[in-house]
């Protein structure tokens, strides 16, 4: 029974010339945006790899110098782009990619692509994700707004009801029909996405790609159910259509912007000046309740104890003590940086969570967060990169200071290390977190999407039981 | 001169011919009832008089003016009452009447005159100020008649105006038509109602497959004769 | 005749509860956007003013300190000597410059958030060391969605309101059956449709002017100037032209004689194409045609240029690498020269950036005629002064001013002449030369043609459809 209904629905949809045209346009747009994303992702990956090689070479070829001076010179690292950025660039364009790692400073990534965009940037990017998240729901609405109301207007719903078909069967049949039509649109896209992922080569996150598929299907199932509810309850097809387009524009246009305005009010960030001033102040005086001198002293004490020089400062070679002092100072500075930068990143993360919670009002926001999380292009992934880089920076500075302490001897500041030492520093590697980590960081969005799914289908089932057969 | 006139009127949609050279002339004070099965060409004829569709050959004239060339002028003379008079549901009967009368170019009529017309058309006085959304079909048809009266139409085009009305409503409507006929209005009415055709019509015509196959004056006919002739023509 | 249609249409609309909801919603959105735009514009204004004043205050402090020393007071510590032009120029003092907001800045945030609000100028190379990773005030997801400003409400939502009011302009009459009665009257279909759409255009146009004008009055800062008045006028003109375009599109689609649901789908499709898809595609085309050079390569370029003078730089960063056999004065002159050399090395690449971005904007100026949404958006950011043209103008002027600022100190460093407190009064100041209002009006006016010409074409197109009455009745 269900199969018969589904086949009839699909046949009706496929025979509609205008729908065919629209579906073809969506497929075209999807493939074009994916091709563009592919080009972009390949170019970005090549560019960053090349830049990282140059930066590493600059580090190794910096010439002979005192190790601590080399720590001042520092090293640049570049953020590798997200695993599936070609599908969903997420918030990557708004995040910095260049990080300068050097002694006495913890910087924030800079050179976000958004800084160099034309004034069209306000319209957003036309990525595959845009098409999948914004356009396909409208296609579903176009496919399904008349599913019930149209039958009622034509009078065929009466005849269907008279055959004794159960409402639930009708509902499932119609849903399958619309899904079939949608599948015809999405199948080429899914194949193309797999192809591009394969072509981009190493580091393909197949598990992430595989997780994206059910996420999008769940999103579309929500839209199908909502479309059916509107179609069954509305006075007429046109009323259903108007209501659905209204729902789409509120959830896909208005709410994201309202959430965007609400986020800084919920979790305000310090102004750039205030942030810099606070860091500078605390570097000079120490964090509240932990004066600078005390902390440096404590770090130095711990260091001396660990190295077995406790109470023997006067007997130590000057350079060794100086090296330890440099390291104690660096440890203090890291405390200050960690305190301020982590507070800042926490505030940004809270802002991101506001957007995720807003998904309670908009399924679009749920899939937007989930999709960029799975694509590895959300803020959580960016923060993971920053954390890795900071650990690397601290280790690098520590190694250089220790080399100074141990090997300077009588030369003191005149001591020079060379290429051997620079080359011994390991290359910076950032392995993107795995799928489970990504899901955990988008648990809110995932839960809300599932809640939408359950509620929308419960409403669709409820409505189908009580659908008016005659207008 | 005939008020409504069709000369060699032909309408074809591709290979399908809806009307094969119709000749028809309706004088003032005459009610011509078009009978015939569904798809015989009755509605096509009326739509040609209204200028909603263009003839493939031949001409339609209203008060001597060709509809094809003088579309807007011819509409000053006519009123049209379809099977369902559809009005703006949010406006009252009076407001609807005022709108259509003004569109017809009669902006000299005030509300009192329009209200009187509605009452003349048989609408209960208290209904005039209610939104049309709550009107019955019969009430809407009465507003349609009031529109014809207020406009001062000299020709009336009716497309099955009584189908779906209850016998009392149908009777009231017929009486209105008789009154208009007596004022010298030329009326062309497509209908399935043989009984009413005999009652109000001065002539009846029977259409079949786009041809006017019979045409006779009602004075010479009894109800029984009319029904017999009609059924004879309906046999193939 | 026309007026009769307009009147009845008005009464019909008044009786429509949905229409009241729509207008109420639009009013609420506009009010919120005005408030939000005004508060973020005010916050931006306050933040830049504070930063500029902070640097001015520091310079004033240095001057007062120097005056005290000149009057015989105790010397300042060596590293904070307000008489040393090298130290003051290298960062002890700085000039903070900012793009001043226009009176109408609350209309559109534009690219305001994408650029540092304040630029601090010292004798250090500006090109080789762009501001360190700037703390944005919004998280990335908020930046991506963009703010809820007036430009958003009018570019995205106003057309949807117009579509909701017009998709059944003619189709609704036909489906209700009233069209046949209307056309049996001596009134032409074109007159009827014109009357209906005129009424709705007047209502929506009136509402737009009242809401948009009111929003601007409440959120603007200093509209009373000639420049402010011109900007306000252009803003309202752009919105009316945009609304006109959408009405013309609705009439054109209604004239095809489809069902009202079909019209609604076609109009929403058109909206999606013009407001969402085309701007995205145009952006792709623009960025692919004039790709900016890679920022990450610039980082390495600046670094390798700098690494050749790394020894000198390390002296500034700490005391660990001081060259013993050079006098401090010589070191300073040489450091200044290296900063200048660094700028010279990087300038070609930075110049290429600017050229590409300017070329992008020129292409956008041409391609805005592809979609009315782009045309009106460009007009709005131009009027708000948050668009690329003004930003690029600012960049160029800052660059020139940076040269002046550095020359002031370089001259004294090279001559070994210390700063006197009187010199502080002669420090160069920065005033932004805004684009002449006439030029702005010409560019925005041209953009409005990009709205009105398609509107005219659409109406001409619908005239042909409206002549074929039969198909529609």
Amino acid C324: pLDDT: 52
pLDDT digits (tens, 9 = 90+) for C185-211: 888 888 888 888 888 889 999 999 999
Q: How far apart are CA A248 and CA A243, in angstroms?
A: 9
Q: B-chain residues within 8 Å CB-CB of C7?
A: 99
In contact, A255 and A361? CB cutoff 8 Å: yes
| Mean pLDDT to the nearest integer, A59-84 | 87
Chains that touch A (3 or more CB pairs under 8 A): C
pLDDT digits (tens, 9 = 90+) for B40-62: 888 888 888 888 888 888 989 89
Q: How far apart are CA C262 and CA C270, in angstroms?
A: 12
Domain boundaries along the sequence of chain A: 2-465
Domain range enclosing B213: 1-40+59-77+192-223
Q: How far apart are CA B161 and CA B84, in angstroms?
A: 7
- B87 phi/psi in degrees, rounded to 5: -125, 175
Which residue in chain C has the smallest CA separation from A269? C137
pLDDT digits (tens, 9 = 90+) for A268-288: 888 888 888 899 999 999 888
Higher pLDDT residue, A178 or A273? Answer: A178
pLDDT band at residue C40 under the 50/70/90 scheme: confident
Residue C264 has pLDDT above 70, yes or no: yes
**How near does any CA of chain C get to the CA of B84, in Å?**
8
Q: How far apart are CA B130 and CA C97, in angstroms?
A: 68
Of the partner residues C131, C147, C261, the one whose CB lies closest to the CB of residue A237 = C261
pLDDT digits (tens, 9 = 90+) for A362-386: 999 999 999 999 999 999 999 999 9
Mean pLDDT of the residues in chain A: 88
Per-window interface: B 37-76 vs C, CB < 8 A: 47, 50-54, 71-73, 75-76
pLDDT band at residue C321 under the 50/70/90 scheme: very low
Residue C33 has pLDDT above 80, yes or no: yes
Which residue in chain C has the smallest CA separation from B96? C8
Amino acid C120: pLDDT: 87
CB pairs below 8 Å between A and C: how many?
261
The conformation of residue A417, written as its DSSP 8-state character, comes to B
In contact, A127 and A87? CB cutoff 8 Å: yes
Our CA dihedral for A37, A43, A45, A50, rounded to 10 degrees, sits at -170
Bridge-based pairing state of the strands B4-13 and A290-291: unpaired
Q: What are C436's two structure tokens?
A: 């002449």
Amino acid A462: pLDDT: 92
Comparing CA positions, the residue from A247, A26, A238 lying closest to residue C264 is: A238
- B27 phi/psi in degrees, rounded to 5: -85, 160
In contact, C193 and C254? CB cutoff 8 Å: yes
Residues, chain C, total?
A: 473
Classify A447 as helix, strand or coil.
Answer: helix
Q: B-chain residues within 8 Å CB-CB of C187?
A: 72, 75, 103
Say yes or no for a CB contact (<8 Å) between A116 and C321: no
Say yes or no for a CB contact (<8 Å) between B88 and C8: yes
Residue C322, chain B, CB below 8 Å: the answer is no
Amino acid B161: pLDDT: 86
In contact, C331 and C315? CB cutoff 8 Å: yes
Q: How far apart are CA A237 and CA C234, in angstroms?
A: 40
Say yes or no for a CB contact (<8 Å) between C181 and B50: no
Q: What are A336's two structure tokens?
A: 């200050």
Higher pLDDT residue, C280 or C346? Answer: C280
From first to last of the 236 residues of chain B, give the pLDDT tens digit. Answer: 788 888 988 888 888 888 888 888 898 989 999 988 888 888 888 888 888 888 888 989 898 888 888 878 888 888 888 888 888 888 888 888 888 888 888 778 888 888 988 998 888 889 888 888 888 888 888 898 898 888 888 899 988 888 878 888 888 888 888 888 888 899 999 988 888 888 888 888 888 888 888 888 888 788 888 888 888 887 76
Amino acid B87: pLDDT: 85
pLDDT band at residue C156 under the 50/70/90 scheme: very high
Residue C438 has pLDDT above 80, yes or no: yes
Comparing CA positions, the residue from B70, B75, B123 lying closest to residue B96 is: B123
Amino acid A204: pLDDT: 61
Say yes or no for a CB contact (<8 Å) between C185 and B157: no
pLDDT digits (tens, 9 = 90+) for C338-384: 788 888 888 888 888 889 989 999 999 999 999 999 999 999 999 99
Residue with tokens 């967060």: A369
User: For chain A, what is the radius of gyration of the CA atoms?
Assistant: 29
Residue A302 has pLDDT above 70, yes or no: yes
Residue C317 has pLDDT above 60, yes or no: no
Q: How far apart are CA B43 and CA B188, in angstroms?
A: 11
What CATH number is associated with residue B23?
3.40.50.300
Residues 6+ apart with CB under 8 A from B10: B17, B19, B20, B21, B22, B55, B56, B57, B58
In contact, A230 and A145? CB cutoff 8 Å: yes
Higher pLDDT residue, A227 or A416? Answer: A227
Beta bridge partners of B203: B32, B217
Higher pLDDT residue, A177 or A19? Answer: A177
Angstrom CA distances, C133 to A264, A377, B99, C386, stand at 19, 19, 67, 22
Q: How far apart are CA C80 and CA A320, in angstroms?
A: 31
Q: C-chain residues within 8 Å CB-CB of A239?
A: none
Classify B59 as helix, strand or coil.
Answer: strand
Amino acid C128: pLDDT: 66
Q: What are C451's two structure tokens?
A: 């709205």
Domain assignment present for B16: yes
Say yes or no for a CB contact (<8 Å) between C184 and B76: no
pLDDT band at residue A358 under the 50/70/90 scheme: very high
Split into its structural domains, chain B has a count of 1
Angstrom CA distances, B42 to B23, B61, B67, B160, stand at 13, 17, 18, 10
- C325 phi/psi in degrees, rounded to 5: -95, 20
**How near does any CA of chain A get to the CA of C331, in Å?**
18
Q: A-chain residues within 8 Å CB-CB of C145?
A: 256-257, 259-260, 355
Amino acid C320: pLDDT: 47
Domain assignment present for B45: no
Residues, chain A, total?
A: 471
Residue C431, chain B, CB below 8 Å: the answer is no
Q: What are B210's two structure tokens?
A: 């786009």
Residue C182, chain B, CB below 8 Å: the answer is yes
Q: How far apart are CA C276 and CA C374, in angstroms?
A: 10
Domain assignment present for B82: no
Residue A83 has pLDDT above 90, yes or no: no
| Mean pLDDT to the nearest integer, A223-247 | 92
Comparing CA positions, the residue from A332, A317, A292 lying closest to residue A406 is: A317
pLDDT band at residue C234 under the 50/70/90 scheme: very high
Amino acid C26: pLDDT: 92
Residue C306 has pLDDT above 70, yes or no: yes
Helix (H) or strand (E) holding A100: strand A98-102
Beta bridge partners of C93: none
Q: C-chain residues within 8 Å CB-CB of A264?
A: 137-139, 142
Which residue in chain A has the smallest CA separation from C386? A119
Count of Cβ atoms closer than 10 Å to residue B228 Cβ = 12
Q: How far apart are CA A330 and CA A339, in angstroms?
A: 14
Which residue in chain B has the smallest CA separation from C179? B86
Q: How far apart are CA C380 and CA C152, in angstroms?
A: 10
| Mean pLDDT to the nearest integer, C169-174 | 86
Split into its structural domains, chain C has a count of 1
Residue A141 has pLDDT above 90, yes or no: yes
Q: In what side-by-side order are the strands of the sheet with A75-78?
A: A75-78, A98-102, A105-106
pLDDT digits (tens, 9 = 90+) for A425-438: 888 888 888 899 99
What beta strand segments (E) does C87-239 contain? 95-98, 118-121
Q: How far apart are the first and last CA of chain B?
A: 36
Residue C331 has pLDDT above 80, yes or no: no
| Mean pLDDT to the nearest integer, C323-332 | 66
Q: How far apart are CA A224 and CA A229, in angstroms?
A: 9
Q: How far apart are CA C270 and CA C250, in angstroms?
A: 10
Residues 6+ apart with CB under 8 A from C211: C26, C27, C30
Q: How far apart are CA B9 and CA B21, in angstroms?
A: 4
Of the partner residues B85, B88, B157, the one whose CB lies closest to the CB of residue C12 = B88
What is the percentage of chain C residues whose pLDDT exceeds 70? 92
pLDDT digits (tens, 9 = 90+) for C103-145: 899 999 888 878 888 888 888 887 766 655 455 667 888 888 8
């Amino acid at each position: 029974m269900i199969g018969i209904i589904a086949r009839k629905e699909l046949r009706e949809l496929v025979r509609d010339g205008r729908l065919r045209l629209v579906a073809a346009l969506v497929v075209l747009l999807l493939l074009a945006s994916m091709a563009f994303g592919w080009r972009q992702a390949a170019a970005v990956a090549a560019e960053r790899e090349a830049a990282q090689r140059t930066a590493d070479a600059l580090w190794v070829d910096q010439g002979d110098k005192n190790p601590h001076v080399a720590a001042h010179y520092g090293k640049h690292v570049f953020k590798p782009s997200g695993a599936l950025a070609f599908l969903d660039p997420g918030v990557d364009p708004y995040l910095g990619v260049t990080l300068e790692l050097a002694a006495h400073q913890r910087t924030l990534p800079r050179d976000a692509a958004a800084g160099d965009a034309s004034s069209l940037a306000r319209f957003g990017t036309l990525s595959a994700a845009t098409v999948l998240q914004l356009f396909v729901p409208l296609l579903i609405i176009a496919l399904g707004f008349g599913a019930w109301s149209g039958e009622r207007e034509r009078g065929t719903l009466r005849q269907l009801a008279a055959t004794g078909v159960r409402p639930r069967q009708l509902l499932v049949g119609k849903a399958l029909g619309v899904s079939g039509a949608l599948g015809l649109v999405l199948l080429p896209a899914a194949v193309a996405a797999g192809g591009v992922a394969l072509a981009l080569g190493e580091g393909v996150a197949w598990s992430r790609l595989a997780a994206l598929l059910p996420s999008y299907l769940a999103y579309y199932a929500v839209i199908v159910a909502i479309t059916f509810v509107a179609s069954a309850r509305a006075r007429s097809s046109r009323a259903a259509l108007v209501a659905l387009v209204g729902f789409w524009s509120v959830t896909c246009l208005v709410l994201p912007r309202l959430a965007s305005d609400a986020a800084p009010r919920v979790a305000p960030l310090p102004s750039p000046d205030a942030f810099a001033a606070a860091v500078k102040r605390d570097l000079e005086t120490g964090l509240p309740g932990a004066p600078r001198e005390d902390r440096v002293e404590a770090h130095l004490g711990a260091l001396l104890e660990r190295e077995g020089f406790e109470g023997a400062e006067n007997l130590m070679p000057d350079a060794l003590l100086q090296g330890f002092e440099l390291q104690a100072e660096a440890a203090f500075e890291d405390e200050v940086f960690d305190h301020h930068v982590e507070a800042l990143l926490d505030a940004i993360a809270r802002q991101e969570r506001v957007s995720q919670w807003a998904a309670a009002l908009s399924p679009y926001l749920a899939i937007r967060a989930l999709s960029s999380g799975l694509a590895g292009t959300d803020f959580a992934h960016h923060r993971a990169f920053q954390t890795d880089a900071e650990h690397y920076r601290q280790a690098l500075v520590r190694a250089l200071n220790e080399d100074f302490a141990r090997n300077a001897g009588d030369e003191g500041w005149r001591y020079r290390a060379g290429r051997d030492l620079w080359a011994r520093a390991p290359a910076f590697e950032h392995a993107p977190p795995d799928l489970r980590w990504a899901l955990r960081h988008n648990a809110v969005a995932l839960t809300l999407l599932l809640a939408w799914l359950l509620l929308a289908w419960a409403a669709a089932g409820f409505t189908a039981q009580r659908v008016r057969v005659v207008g | 001169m005939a008020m409504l006139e069709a000369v060699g009127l032909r309408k074809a949609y591709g290979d399908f011919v809806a009307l094969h050279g119709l000749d028809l002339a309706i004088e003032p004070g005459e009610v011509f009832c078009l009978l015939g099965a569904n798809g015989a060409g009755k509605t096509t004829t009326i739509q040609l008089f209204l200028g909603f569709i263009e003839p493939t050959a031949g001409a339609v004239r209203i008060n001597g003016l060709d509809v094809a060339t003088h579309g807007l002028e011819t509409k000053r003379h006519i009123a049209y009452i379809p099977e369902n008079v559809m009005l703006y549901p949010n406006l009252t009967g009076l407001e609807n009447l005022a709108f259509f009368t003004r569109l017809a170019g009669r902006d000299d009529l005030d509300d009192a005159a329009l209200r009187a017309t509605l009452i003349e058309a048989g609408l209960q006085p208290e209904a005039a100020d209610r939104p049309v959304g709550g009107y019955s079909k019969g009430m809407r048809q009465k507003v349609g008649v009031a529109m014809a009266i207020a406009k001062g139409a000299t020709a009336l085009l009716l497309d099955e105006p009584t189908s779906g009305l209850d016998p009392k409503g149908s009777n009231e409507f017929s009486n209105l038509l008789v009154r208009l006929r007596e004022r010298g209005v030329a009326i062309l009415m497509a209908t399935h109602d043989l009984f009413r055709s005999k009652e109000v019509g001065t002539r009846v015509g029977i259409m079949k497959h786009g041809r006017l196959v019979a045409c006779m004056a009602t004075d010479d006919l009894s109800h029984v004769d009319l029904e017999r002739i009609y059924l004879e023509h309906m046999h193939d | 005749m026309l007026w009769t249609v307009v009147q009845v249409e008005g009464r019909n609309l008044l009786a429509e509860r949905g229409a009241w909801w729509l207008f109420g919603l639009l009013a609420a959105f506009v009010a919120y956007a005005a408030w939000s735009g005004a508060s973020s514009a005010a916050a931006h204004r306050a933040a830049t003013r504070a930063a500029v004043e902070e640097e001015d205050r520091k310079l004033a402090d240095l001057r007062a300190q120097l005056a005290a020393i000149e009057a015989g007071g105790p010397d300042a510590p060596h590293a904070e000597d307000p008489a040393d032009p090298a130290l003051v120029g290298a960062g002890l003092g700085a000039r903070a410059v900012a793009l001043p907001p226009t009176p109408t800045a609350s209309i559109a945030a534009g690219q305001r958030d994408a650029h540092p609000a304040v630029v601090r100028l010292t004798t250090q190379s500006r090109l080789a060391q762009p501001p360190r990773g700037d703390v944005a005030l919004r998280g990335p997801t908020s930046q991506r969605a963009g703010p809820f400003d007036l430009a958003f409400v009018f570019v995205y939502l106003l057309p949807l309101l117009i579509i909701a009011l017009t998709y059944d302009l003619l189709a609704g009459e036909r489906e209700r059956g009233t069209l046949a009665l209307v056309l049996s009257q001596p009134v032409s279909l074109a007159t009827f449709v014109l009357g209906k759409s005129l009424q709705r255009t007047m209502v929506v146009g009136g509402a737009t002017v009242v809401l948009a004008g009111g929003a601007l009055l409440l959120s603007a800062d200093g509209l009373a100037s000639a420049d402010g008045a011109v900007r306000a006028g252009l803003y309202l003109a752009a919105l009316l032209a945009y609304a006109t375009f959408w009405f013309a599109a609705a009439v054109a689609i209604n004239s095809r004689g489809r069902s009202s649901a079909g019209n609604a789908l076609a109009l929403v499709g058109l909206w999606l194409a013009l407001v969402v898809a085309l701007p995205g595609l145009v952006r792709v085309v623009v960025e692919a045609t004039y790709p900016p050079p890679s920022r990450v390569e610039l980082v390495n370029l600046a670094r390798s240029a700098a690494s050749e003078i790394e020894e000198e730089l390390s002296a500034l960063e700490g005391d660990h690498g001081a060259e013993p056999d050079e006098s401090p004065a010589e070191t300073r002159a040489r450091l200044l020269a290296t900063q200048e050399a660094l700028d010279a090395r990087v300038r070609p690449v930075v110049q290429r950036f600017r050229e590409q971005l300017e070329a992008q904007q020129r292409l956008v100026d041409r391609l805005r005629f592809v979609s009315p949404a782009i045309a009106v958006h460009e007009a709005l950011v131009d009027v708000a002064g948050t668009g690329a043209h003004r930003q690029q103008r600012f960049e160029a002027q800052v660059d020139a001013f940076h040269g002046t600022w550095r020359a002031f100190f370089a001259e004294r460093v090279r001559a070994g002449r210390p700063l006197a407190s009187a010199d502080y009064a002669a420090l160069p100041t920065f005033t932004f030369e805004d684009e002449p209002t006439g030029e702005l009006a010409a560019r925005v006016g041209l953009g409005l043609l990009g709205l009105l010409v398609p509107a005219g074409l659409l109406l001409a197109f619908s005239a042909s459809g409206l002549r074929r009455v039969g198909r529609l009745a």
